Amino acid sequence: MNDRRDFLKKSLLTLGAAGLTGSLAQAFNFSTGAKAKISIKKGDVILFQGDSITDAGRKRDNLNPNDSNAFGNGYAFMAASTLLNKHADKDLKVYNRGISGNRVPDLLGRWQTDALELKPTILSIMIGVNDFWRTKDRGAVNTPEQYKAQYKELLDKTVSALPGVKLILIEPFGVNNVKHVKDDWYPEFPKYQQVVKELAQEYKAVFLPYQQVFDQALKRNANGAHWTTDGVHTTMAGANLMAEAWLNLVS
C-alpha cells in the first residue's frame, strides 16, 4: 500500500511540473501545454476505442454510428448521447469499437477496419488494464516496456494514416481493494499508467487521467464498490463519472 501512495505522490508532482494544475480530474493537452479542450466541428467523426470498459455490452454486429444499441451502457454511451444532444447542429458521427478483453496487440490486429477505415477526426483510446491484468491472472508476459512499444506501433500507424486526427489517450485505472484490484497490483500497474502519459506527451495528445478522477471521487464516497463492480468495471455512478470527465475535454 505504501508503494501505491508513494507512486501517487510522485505522479502528482510530475503532473504539476508539466503544467497540470487545479483539479486532479483535469485532463492535459500536450499539443498546447494547457488544460485540455477539444473543439467539436461540423462533420466530426468521433471514435471510442478500447476494451470492456468501453465495450460495456454493446451489440458488436451493429456497426452504425449514433445508435444506442451499438454503444452498450457505459461511459462511451453516456458521453456520445450528450455530444449528440449538445451539438445537434454539427452532424456528428460517433462510433464505439471497444471489445471486451482487448489488449494493445488485439487493437493492432483490427485497427485497419475498426479505426483507420472509419477516418475519425477525434480518436479516444482507453487500453492497458488487460495488458497488465493478464500478467497477474493468466501468467502473460508483457512488461511496461513491451506495452509501450506495442502502443507506439499503434499510434505510429494512426498518425501516418490520419495525420490530422485529435488523439485522446486515456489512463487505465484501478480502484484498490474492490474484488480483483489488490495491493499486489502496486507498484507495477502504475508503470503501465505512466506509459500512457509518456505517449500522450510524445504524440502531443490529450491525456485523460482517470486514476485521478476515481481517486478524487473516493473522497466523496470512499466505498469503491459505489464506483466499480470489481475495481475495474464501472457501476452506473462510475460510468457517469467517466463520461463527465471525458465531456470536460470538449468545448
Identify the pLDDT of residue 101.
Answer: 96
The three-class DSSP label of residue 158 is: helix
**This model's pTM is above 0.85:** yes
- The contacts of residue 222 (CB under 8 Å, 6+ apart) are none
The C-alpha cell at 100 is: 471486451
Task: Kindly state whether residue 103 falls inside one of the protein's structural domains.
Answer: yes
Could you give the residue numbers annotated as active site?
52, 230, 233
Identify the pLDDT of residue 22.
Answer: 36
Splitting the chain (251 residues) into consecutive groups of 10 residues, what average pLDDT does each group show? 43 37 63 85 98 98 98 97 98 98 97 98 98 90 96 98 97 94 94 97 96 95 97 97 94 70
The three-class DSSP label of residue 219 is: coil
191: closest CA among 10, 13, 2? 10
Identify the pLDDT of residue 25.
Answer: 56
**Structural domain span for residue 238:** 2-7+28-247
Contact yes or no for 162/123 (Cβ under 8 A): yes
Task: Kindly state whether residue 13 falls inside one of the protein's structural domains.
Answer: no
Q: What is the CATH number of the domain that holds 175?
A: 3.40.50.1110
Going by their DSSP bridges, the two strands 206-208 and 28-29 should be labelled as: antiparallel
Overall domain count for the chain: 1
Task: Kindly state whether residue 208 falls inside one of the protein's structural domains.
Answer: yes
Between the alpha carbon of residue 30 and those of residues 14, 54, 87, 157, 201, the distances in Å are: 14, 23, 25, 20, 5
Question: H or E stretch including 242?
Answer: helix 236-247
- Distance between CA atoms of residues 196 and 121, nearest Å: 20
Task: Kindly state whether residue 14 falls inside one of the protein's structural domains.
Answer: no
Task: Kindly state whether residue 215 falls inside one of the protein's structural domains.
Answer: yes
Task: Kindly state whether residue 18 falls inside one of the protein's structural domains.
Answer: no
Task: Kindly state whether residue 99 falls inside one of the protein's structural domains.
Answer: yes
53: closest CA among 86, 30, 84, 76? 76
Identify the pLDDT of residue 31.
Answer: 83
Task: Kindly state whether residue 20 falls inside one of the protein's structural domains.
Answer: no
